[in-house]
Amino acid sequence: MIEAHNLAKRFGPITAVSDVTLEVKEGSILALLGPNGAGKTTTVRMLCSLLKPTSGTATICGYDTVKDAGKVRGLVGLLTEMPGLYGRLNAVDYLEFFSKLQRISKQSFTAHSRQLLEYFGLWEYRNRAISTYSKGMRQKLSLARALIHSPKVLVLDEPTSAMDPYSAKTVRDYIKDMKKDGRAIILCTHNLPEAEELADRIAFIQHGQIRAIGTSEELKGRFLGPPSFVAMFAKPIEKSVVYHTSMVQIEEWSPYQVIYSTSEPEVANPAYISHLVSSGAELVKVAEAPRRLEDIYLKVTGSND
């Protein structure tokens, strides 16, 4: 649904984006992560036909983002990083304005706007001027605006920023529903747990280039190595017992704890745990050591600075 091939954008002597190639299929979410100024917004603007690429091509639902710009803008729902709103309008008038620009019939608008405002908890405030809304309410209204024309493609820049945890969960759930409904979604965020929760694939972008792209597990395997496990004991255990193995790699040992890694946990874990127990270890707990997306983020972006 979203395809980009070797996209590049230069502003005079400055290269904002170079050689970006990505694909987002129907019913999937790609999270675009990277530091400020990495090229996320420029990439997204090119995909939304707001900027013309200096080189490379991109298509949305088969439509070229340059040649069919108007069509593309009708297919994409964009939530910008800093969504300004027309403060003197109320929520309904605001949504109606954009629905008219998107050529949505009055009937469809009435039903859909109510559904969106109710879902995001704004229905009872619909007649109030937007200037009186809180930050979170504005963010939710902006999201409703991006969704008002039921776009096939969604590009969401920080969709849950400024929201309370309940509202943020509501929005995340809606995004998941959109995905189930077959939409292709690009999510730009600095909220890494959110990216991990929602995205099927994650792309790290820095200095205008995609440094890494893949599923969360693929990226963890590539950048953090095989998964690590922590085994904790009730009584001290001999070092020789812990190290008497070729099944796993021991990373750290202490009398009450051992941290080991293996690329084949399904095979190695049962065998190694049996070995420990049969050697007299009083096992309290075995758990996978947390491997955070943040570590990959720091590794990918930090090493290249």
Partner 1 sequence: MIDSISASLIITKREVRDILSDWRVIIPTLILAVIFPTIIVLGIRWGTPFMAHIDPTAAVGKAALFGAMMSAFFPTSFSLVIALESFVGEKERNTIETLFATPLSNAQLFIGKFLAVMTLPVLLSNIALSIYLFGMWWLLGTTVPASFVLLTVLLTLSEVLIMVAGAVIVSSQTATIKAANLLASFIIIPMALAVQGQVLIILTGYGYILWFMLAGFLGIAAILIRMGITVFDREAILTRENDDLNIFSIGRKLSQLWRGTPNSAFDETKVTPARPYYIRLFLLDIPQILSMQKIPILVTFGMLVASSLIGVVFAITHPIPMGEINASAVFRTGESTAMGMQLDAGSIFLHNVRNIIIAAVLSIFTFGLAALIVVVATFGLVGFLVGEAAIAGVDPGSFVFAFLLPHGALEVPAIVLATALSLSIGMSILSPPSGVGFGENLLFSLVNWVKGAALFVPLFLVASIVEAKVTPQVILWIFGQM
Minimum distance from CB of 205 to partner 1 (Å)?
A: 18
Of the candidate spans 23-31, 86-94, 166-174, 231-239, the one that interacts with partner 1 by CB under 8 A turns out to be: 86-94
Question: Which residues, numbered 54-83, are part of the site for partner 1 (CB under 8 A)?
Answer: 70-71, 73-74, 76, 78, 80, 82-83
Count of C-beta atoms within a 10 Å radius of residue 250: 14
50 binds partner 1 (CB under 8 A): yes
**Which of residues 112, 140, 145, 291 is near partner 1 by CB under 8 A?**
145
Alpha helices in 20-164 (DSSP H): 40-47, 69-75, 91-101, 106-119, 135-147
**Which of residues 86, 166, 243, 256 is near partner 1 by CB under 8 A?**
86
Give dist(CA 157, CA 189) in Å, integer. Answer: 6
156 binds partner 1 (CB under 8 A): no
188 binds partner 1 (CB under 8 A): no
Minimum distance from CB of 13 to partner 1 (Å)?
A: 8
Greatest alpha-carbon span in the chain? 76
Give dist(CA 26, CA 153) in Å, integer. Answer: 9
**Which of residues 43, 59, 90, 142 is near partner 1 by CB under 8 A?**
142
Asked whether 55 and 31 are in contact (CB, 8 A), the reply is no
Complex with partner 1: residue 102 or 245, whichever CB lies closer: 102
Element (H, E) at 239: helix 239-243
If phi > 0 it is left, if psi is from -120 to 50 it is alpha, else beta; for residue 70 that is alpha
Minimum distance from CB of 155 to partner 1 (Å)?
A: 9
Complex with partner 1: residue 71 or 207, whichever CB lies closer: 71
- The contact mask relative to partner 1 for 94-133 (x = CB under 8 A, - = no) is ---xx-xxxx------------------------------
Q: How far apart, in Å, are the Cα atoms of 302 and each of 46, 71, 187, 211?
A: 26, 39, 21, 11
Minimum distance from CB of 101 to partner 1 (Å)?
A: 4
| Cα torsion through 292, 298, 301, 305, rounded to 10 | -170
What would the 3-class secondary structure string for 123-188 be?
Answer: HHHCCCEHHHCCHHHHHHHHHHHHHCCCCCEEEEECCCCCCCHHHHHHHHHHHHHHHHCCCEEEEE
Complex with partner 1: residue 12 or 165, whichever CB lies closer: 12
Complex with partner 1: residue 34 or 77, whichever CB lies closer: 77
**Which of residues 40, 45, 140, 201 is near partner 1 by CB under 8 A?**
45
Q: How many residues does the chain have?
A: 305
Using CB under 8 A, count the residues that bind partner 1. 30
Minimum distance from CB of 16 to partner 1 (Å)?
A: 9
CA atoms within 13 A on the CB side of 46: 29
Complex with partner 1: residue 19 or 251, whichever CB lies closer: 19
Minimum distance from CB of 117 to partner 1 (Å)?
A: 17
What lies within 8 Å, CB to CB, of 139 at 6+ separation is 83, 159, 160, 161, 162, 163
Question: Which residues, numbered 238-267, are part of the site for partner 1 (CB under 8 A)?
Answer: none
Q: Where does this chain bind partner 1 (CB under 8 A)?
A: 11-13, 45, 48, 50-52, 70-71, 73-74, 76, 78, 80, 82-86, 88-89, 97-98, 100-103, 142, 145
